[in-house]
Amino acid sequence: MFNFSLSLNSPLSKLLLHNGITDFKSAIAYIHQLPYGRTSDRSDYKLILPENKGTCATKHAFLKQLSIENNQEAVELYIGIYQMNETNTKGVGSVLIKYNLDYIPEAHTYLKINGNLLDITRTPENKTSFEDSLLTEQQILPHQIGDFKVNWHQGFLKQWIINEQLPYSFEEIWKIREECIASLSD
């Protein structure tokens, strides 16, 4: 597995070194075990350590920024939109059934290292990878996990509603999507 030692001069490395984490592989393991949850500011990936939790966006953005600070260009940050359903995201099926939807396009953030996908937030309960139902993806930088990600996702949803001729407004679809996300922590 790809690995590098953490620099003493990197701000994020210093935070991890304080916790006894000295290399990228150990940082991945440590951040992976943090509970899933939104931090108080969903666009500030540095909050995953003091708040002891993170989402796909904050956890992966933290690791990407850590690699930037350590001059490691092989690590890339991506957002993708996939067809979220019960098979690939256990817990959302009952919400989708309630609204007569087979899936809802969901934005997901992950890394690619030397072209290989690394997702430290998916759980083994998901029977298939989100990658199997990926609709589109885009490489981003850590600071783009806030407004940019939300706007890109919402723009995609608005076009999807039109293309699929759904009987829902954008606002209704966004509420259904939020209900799906809430069902993941039940």
List, for residues 82-125, the tens digit of each pLDDT value. 999 998 888 999 999 999 999 999 999 999 999 999 999 876 55
Residue type, 85: N
Report d(CA 69, CA 147) in Å as an integer: 23
| pLDDT tens digits, one per residue of 129-154 | 677 889 999 999 999 999 999 999 99
Q: Quick one: what percent of the chain has pLDDT higher than 70?
A: 95
Q: How confident is the model at residue 126 (pLDDT cuts 50, 70, 90)?
A: low
Which candidate, 68, 73, 49, places its Cα nearest to that of 7?
68
Whole-prediction pTM: 0.90
Q: Read off the pLDDT of each residue in 149-178 and give the average, rounded to a whole number.
A: 97
Per-chain mean pLDDT for the chain = 92
Residue 138 belongs to what H/E stretch?
A: strand 134-140
More confident: 31 or 42: 31
Query: Between vectors from CA 143 to CA 142 and to CA 144, what angle results, nearest 5°?
Result: 90
